[in-house]
Structure 1
Amino acid sequence: MAVILGCFLLLLLLGVPVVFVLGASAVIALVTTTEVPVAIVSQRVFAGLNSFTLMAIPFFVFAGIIMDAGGISKRIVNFSSALIGWVTGSLLLVACVAAAGLAAISGSGSADTAAISSIMQPQLKRRRYDVDFGAAVIACAGSLAQVIPPSLTMVIVAVVANLSIGALFLSGVVPGLLCIAAIMIAAYVHAKRGGPQYRETEPFTLARLGRTTYQALPAFGMPLLILGGILGGAFTPTEAAAVSAFYGLIVGMFVYRELKVSHLPQLILRAASLSAAVMLIIGTASVFAWLVANANVPTLLGNWIRDLSSDPLVFLIIVNVLFLIIGMFLETIAAILIVVPVLMPIALDYGIDPIHFALVIVLNCAIGTVTPPYGISLFVAASVANRPVIKVARKLLMPFAAMMAILVLTTFVPELSLALPRMAGLIQ
């Protein structure tokens, strides 16, 4: 076990891409410490990817790309602007509301962050907002696509932990919306303390709200189709992902008419490239996780934690701290595939509901995407804003504190995540 962890940390510090860190450290440990043939690596990679549910990933990725290219993102931003564009700090609040809307469609935090940034940043600069703070708010709000269903992160957690995807989807609705509300409050407080540029608002009119609502209705149909279909038993999560991609194509090509047939080859190649990167991480991480399990790490770690305390809340605090640290250095999917199989059995021994525990992990993963040095959503927001990452990171305190507050609340109040799945009859 020391060999695999030593190789893992060394390669990570050397700046080797995470996907190669996982694979190489596993192979080195396999060769040097066991007599298991190296051929087992390819078998474990295949076994890690041999899941019908994982087929949802490329479809959700493609749906998110179609959403942006087909004009769906723009309609949601326009609706959000008409709804709250008259409030102090309106552009920041519009970004948050739009993030919630896009999260219910794409399932990808980095995609949401990129889409919102590309639309909102020119306006933030034109009205002389603090661009660095705006980028920080957009990064935090965009990261919540991992929490608000449908979510690629939730699909992976559910597959790894053998949980109901529908129940996990529903568990993220209330905490996700609370996070958006908390970030909006932080943005509003910042705007109230700012200069007159934050109070330059446009008047609210029912006519504009009605027009933008009508234009956004086809976009709002996608989350209803996905969640309604899964919860109603019409199709599986994988089939829901395929339906959402097809629905996005129809809306983009025939309703908004911003998507052309000539655009499809490039969009398909982009979706294939992103999906392949995700799948490669899942495959190599499955080898790593298999070796960790064979080394009896879950039992050793569980015994160590139980020696510290028998209180489930103490265990959850330890998990939160652990994932906040891991999120600073590891990509979300790799972190889930390595750590969840180790921690989930311990959580069950403590009597913690697996859906609640999974949602706490997903929230931590979302926060991890905005924490430097690895936070991908933070990098995307800073890149689109054409600002140094370090300057954007300095403005993270208020929106980051808002997300942390909801993480603590969700950790200590399980009903926030369990009420909706219980009402839907998906858990007892």
Structure 2
Amino acid sequence: MTLWPMLLMLVLLAASVPVALSLLAPSLLYFYLGADLPIDIFAQKMVSSTDSFPLLALPFFVLAGCIMNAAGITRRLLALADAFVGHFVGGLAQVSVILATMMGGLTASATADAAMLAKMLGPSMIERGYPRGFAAAVVACSSTIVAMIPPGIGLIVYAFMANVSVGELFIAGIVPGFLIAAGIMITIYLIARKRGFKAVRTKMVSLPELGRSFLDAVWALTVPVFIVVGLRYGIFTPTEAGAICVLYAIFVGTVCYKELRFSHIPEIIRDAVAAICIVMLIICAATTFGYYMVWESVPTQIANTLTTVTKDPLLLLLLINVFLLIVGMFIEGTAAIILLTPILVPVTTALGIDPVHFGVIMVLNLTIGGVSPPVGTLSFTASSVLRIPSTETFRESLPIVLAMILVLALVTLMPQASLFLPTLLMH
């Protein structure tokens, strides 16, 4: 078994080389120097990885999110979130959590959500006396919720790599997503009380005002419901849901809110293409690297090692959780899903662990890694937008990350937390 490509990949990642290049360089060298294979296979594997109908859901949902952001939907969701929790202790920080939960069906990307929340709420939190590091930590941790609410990019990629139902994964992520939101809000409340952070307002808004905010944002709130209902009743496939979501976003922006303009098209296309290309390049690079691992029987060796350590499903899941938390600290979540799914899913499935349940655990695990040092892409995104040292963000994130790990443990120990809704709605 040849391991030097894996070691080279780790060295490149440690040297802060972009993930795609860290995967492509060892793969190309392996095909060129180390493998008794035609070099043409390298290019063939890169191209063939994109030849997937289910994977079309990814660019469609990203495009829909960009359209909705340009249509004034985010502003309406912010007003609704403020109406719900603005009177809580630490109200602005709580608004960040609620807004991230509602935006899960719009952005599909935790990184995009972190940047958006930092721009929208970060300066206001700092103006109201929140420490800069705490404001960035709240934004970064809140954005992890997006990964679990349909249509999270991590769920789509895992479904593609593990050959499981995207619809079931979408529905399975809903309850864990709300649990993460509740865990973060409770932690923020405790921190806010201890530090004396103020609420945005002294009392809850009146019911008529809350109703107006809700009605103003109702079209945006229907997006996740629209996706789940359509998948449940077989109206469309997950891939078709992405395309229909684009049309729905255009309808909402032009007919319902009347804010989507022809002049927005260049910016929408630019943002969507930039986001999609990054993910697709990583997928192409990871496919070639995965082919090397399969050719050298690396997944089989790792699977055999794990099963020799324990055959108890629960203990194995706990070991994998620790492993994934560590991996998530160093490798961006989507790239890690692409790399590790072909290795870990056969092992867990052989021990009777539901692949949908494991998918939720894996995506949640690696997303938590996005706010953890040293690589923590979500924390770096929030820190760069608010122009503060990432070390401050990491330090302030610690109690919130601990709360999220407790939720992760709960989801791991109680499979029905993720499987209840798919069982009820899809079977």
Quote the offset at 1:282 in angstroms: 0.4
Q: Is the 8 A contact 2:104 2:149 kept in 1?
A: yes
One-letter amino acid of the counterpart of residue 374, structure 1: V
Q: Deviations 1:290-348 (Å, cap 9, x if unpaired)? A: 11112112221122112211211121112111111111111222211111101110001
Quote the offset at 1:357 in angstroms: 0.9
Q: How does 1:318-329 map to 2 (within 5 A)?
A: 318-329=319-330
Secondary structure of the structure 2 residue equivalent to 1:338: helix
Secondary structure of the structure 1 residue equivalent to 2:49: helix
**Alignment correspondent of 2:88:** 87
The farther-off stretch of 291-300 and 340-349 is 291-300
Rounded to whole Å, the distance in 2 between the matches of 1:63 and 1:293 is 35
Is residue 426 of structure 2 the alignment partner of residue 425 of structure 1?
yes
Secondary structure of the structure 1 residue equivalent to 2:205: coil
Q: Is the 8 A contact 2:330 2:375 kept in 1?
A: yes
**Alignment correspondent of 2:20:** 19
Q: Deviations 1:245-270 (Å, cap 9, x if unpaired)? A: 22222222332233210110221122
Is residue 392 of structure 2 the alignment partner of residue 391 of structure 1?
yes
Q: Measured at CA, do residues 10 and 122 of structure 1 come closer, stay the same or move farther in structure 2, by a change above 3 Å?
A: closer
Q: Measured at CA, do residues 201 and 375 of structure 1 come closer, stay the same or move farther in structure 2, by a change above 3 Å?
A: farther
**Alignment correspondent of 2:265:** 264
Q: Is the 8 A contact 1:147 1:366 kept in 2?
A: no
Q: Is the 8 A contact 1:191 1:198 kept in 2?
A: no
The farther-off stretch of 135-144 and 250-259 is 250-259
Is residue 378 of structure 2 the alignment partner of residue 377 of structure 1?
yes
Is residue 311 of structure 2 the alignment partner of residue 304 of structure 1?
no
Is residue 369 of structure 2 the alignment partner of residue 368 of structure 1?
yes
Secondary structure of the structure 2 residue equivalent to 1:395: helix
**Alignment correspondent of 1:340:** 341
Quote the offset at 1:421 in angstroms: 0.7
Rounded to whole Å, the distance in 2 between the matches of 1:121 and 1:372 is 21
Rounded to whole Å, the distance in 2 between the matches of 1:180 and 1:144 is 7
One-letter amino acid of the counterpart of residue 188, structure 1: Y
One-letter amino acid of the counterpart of residue 73, structure 2: I
**Alignment correspondent of 2:156:** 155
Structure 2 spans left out of the alignment, 5+ residues:
none
Secondary structure of the structure 1 residue equivalent to 2:330: coil
**Alignment correspondent of 1:415:** 416
**Alignment correspondent of 1:72:** 73
Q: How does 1:193-272 map to 2 (within 5 A)?
A: 193-195=194-196, 197-198=198-199, 201-272=202-273
The farther-off stretch of 238-247 and 174-183 is 238-247
Is residue 22 of structure 2 the alignment partner of residue 32 of structure 1?
no
Rounded to whole Å, the distance in 2 between the matches of 1:79 and 1:166 is 28
One-letter amino acid of the counterpart of residue 227, structure 1: V
Quote the offset at 1:91 in angstroms: 0.9
**Alignment correspondent of 1:286:** 287
Secondary structure of the structure 1 residue equivalent to 2:141: helix
Rounded to whole Å, the distance in 2 between the matches of 1:292 and 1:414 is 30
One-letter amino acid of the counterpart of residue 176, structure 2: P
Rounded to whole Å, the distance in 1 between the matches of 2:242 and 2:202 is 38
One-letter amino acid of the counterpart of residue 303, structure 1: N
Quote the offset at 1:202 in angstroms: 4.8
**Alignment correspondent of 1:170:** 171
Q: Measured at CA, do residues 189 and 46 of structure 1 come closer, stay the same or move farther in structure 2, by a change above 3 Å?
A: same
One-letter amino acid of the counterpart of residue 8, structure 2: C
Q: How does 1:139-154 map to 2 (within 5 A)?
A: 139-154=140-155
Q: Is the 8 A contact 1:192 1:198 kept in 2?
A: no
Q: Is the 8 A contact 2:307 2:347 kept in 1?
A: no
Q: Is the 8 A contact 2:333 2:363 kept in 1?
A: no
Q: Is the 8 A contact 1:73 1:115 kept in 2?
A: no
One-letter amino acid of the counterpart of residue 82, structure 1: A
Rounded to whole Å, the distance in 1 between the matches of 2:126 and 2:274 is 32
Q: Measured at CA, do residues 209 and 198 of structure 1 come closer, stay the same or move farther in structure 2, by a change above 3 Å?
A: closer
* Superposed structure 1 runs of 4+ greater than 6 Å apart: none
Q: Deviations 1:73-121 (Å, cap 9, x if unpaired)? A: 1111110111121111111111111110001322111122222222212
Q: Is the 8 A contact 2:67 2:250 kept in 1?
A: yes
Rounded to whole Å, the distance in 2 between the matches of 1:102 and 1:240 is 17
The farther-off stretch of 340-349 and 112-121 is 112-121
One-letter amino acid of the counterpart of residue 355, structure 1: V
TM-score (norm 2): 0.96
Rounded to whole Å, the distance in 2 between the matches of 1:368 and 1:72 is 29
Q: Measured at CA, do residues 421 and 196 of structure 1 come closer, stay the same or move farther in structure 2, by a change above 3 Å?
A: closer
Q: Is the 8 A contact 2:93 2:135 kept in 1?
A: yes
Q: Measured at CA, do residues 196 and 84 of structure 1 come closer, stay the same or move farther in structure 2, by a change above 3 Å?
A: closer
Quote the offset at 1:172 in angstroms: 0.7
Q: Is the 8 A contact 1:82 1:209 kept in 2?
A: yes
Rounded to whole Å, the distance in 2 between the matches of 1:20 and 1:196 is 44
Structure 1 spans left out of the alignment, 5+ residues:
none
Quote the offset at 1:196 in angstroms: 5.5
One-letter amino acid of the counterpart of residue 131, structure 2: D
Rounded to whole Å, the distance in 2 between the matches of 1:405 and 1:100 is 19
Quote the offset at 1:199 in angstroms: 7.5
